[in-house]
């Protein structure tokens, strides 16, 4: 799993590739919280295009990201979900809780 951040105006896009499971979800959590709490960032978009699989510990990291963004008054959005990622959010009854977009353009549109 690799994760890296890029800045597009006042949004940060976090690109992840590889699978997210118990072995690396703490890294995802750390990167998410760091970017969300960064000053001046109004939106953090997590790019899951390169992620085929997310387990429940990965989902837990996303929920932590969401809570942190609510605290800091910024937006946390997801895009590029695989069928598997969508299913695990759905079965966890969290799909409607997240702002989910198809692609980057939509995810960072004003």
Partner 1 sequence: MNPIAAKQPRDMNKSSKVTRAFLLKLELRSHPTLLCVIRGALQPLVEMLGFSAEHNREIIRAVDEAVANIMRHSYQGRLDQPIEVYCNRLQRRTNGEIEQGVEVLLFDCGPAVDTTKLEARPLDEVRPGGLGLHIIRGSMDTVQYKRAGRLNRLRLVKYARTSKGECGSAEEKPS
Chain positions contacting partner 1, by CB under 8 A: 19, 21-23, 53, 55-57, 59-61, 63-64, 66, 83-84, 87-88, 90-94, 97
Tell the smallest beta-carbon distance from residue 9 to partner 1 (Å): 29
Q: Which is nearer to partner 1, 5 or 94 (CB)?
A: 94
Tell the smallest beta-carbon distance from residue 77 to partner 1 (Å): 17
Q: Which is nearer to partner 1, 8 or 91 (CB)?
A: 91
CA distance 19 to 9: 28
Q: Which is nearer to partner 1, 71 or 87 (CB)?
A: 87
Strand order in the sheet with 43-50: 2-8, 11-17, 43-50, 75-79, 99-101
**Strand 43-50 and strand 11-17: pairing?**
parallel
């Amino acid at each position: 799993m690799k994760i890296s951040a890029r800045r597009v105006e006042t949004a940060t896009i976090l690109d992840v590739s590889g699978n997210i499971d118990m072995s690396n979800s703490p890294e995802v959590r750390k990167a998410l919280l760091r970017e969300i709490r960064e000053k001046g960032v109004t939106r953090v978009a997590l790019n899951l295009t390169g992620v085929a699989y997310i387990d429940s510990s990965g989902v837990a990291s996303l929920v932590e990201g969401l809570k942190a963004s609510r605290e800091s008054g910024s937006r946390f959005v997801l895009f590029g979900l695989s069928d598997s990622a969508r299913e695990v959010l759905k079965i966890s009854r969290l799909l409607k809780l997240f702002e989910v977009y198809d692609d980057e353009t939509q995810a960072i549109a004003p």
